[in-house]
Structure 1
Amino acid sequence: MDTALIVGYLASICSVTSFIPQVWKIFKTGDTAAISAKMYALTVTGFALWTAFGVMRVEWPIILTNAICFCLSGLILIKKITRRAR
């Protein structure tokens, strides 16, 4: 494994790990008041596009990181939208 790939996987771990506390807090408390639905919609879209880019380039660190972050940010967005709809 080359150095660039190791750096990519380390970056992936950092990126994914940064989302987990936010998701955990939102699902634990249900509080999404401080979260912007528009910003998270843009974030989810960005992660989807980065995942597609990674697939097109067959770059596993990009694919894994962005697919996981897409799911985590998608959960936050869904929670935000469903809280607002009530």
Structure 2
Amino acid sequence: MTHTLEIREGDWSELGDIAGEIRRVVFIEEQQVPEDEEWDGRDDECRHFLALDAAGKALGTARLLPDGHIGRVAVLEEARGRVSASP
């Protein structure tokens, strides 16, 4: 079965509320990452991405740093293994 995702791009002021909540759940709650390590102060300088399902529910997030590194990739547990990316 194929699942369709919409990828939304924006800055932290646009996507931060939703992206931040996904990261809080995945990194701080599930993986026990310390809050001061997760919130490193770099989000304002990054481009952010949300993956949304066909109903518009945000399932995952990632950020792109100015130097081109991808980081803070997080997918909600309910969506893991459900979708895959293809070109």
- Normalised-by-shorter TM-score class: under 0.3
Flag the structure with higher strand content: 2
Flag the structure with higher helix content: 1
With structure 1 as the length reference, what TM-score do the two structures score?
Answer: 0.28
- Greater relative CO, 1 or 2 (CA 8 Å, sep 6+): 1
Task: Say which one has the larger Rg.
Answer: 1
With structure 2 as the length reference, what TM-score do the two structures score?
Answer: 0.27
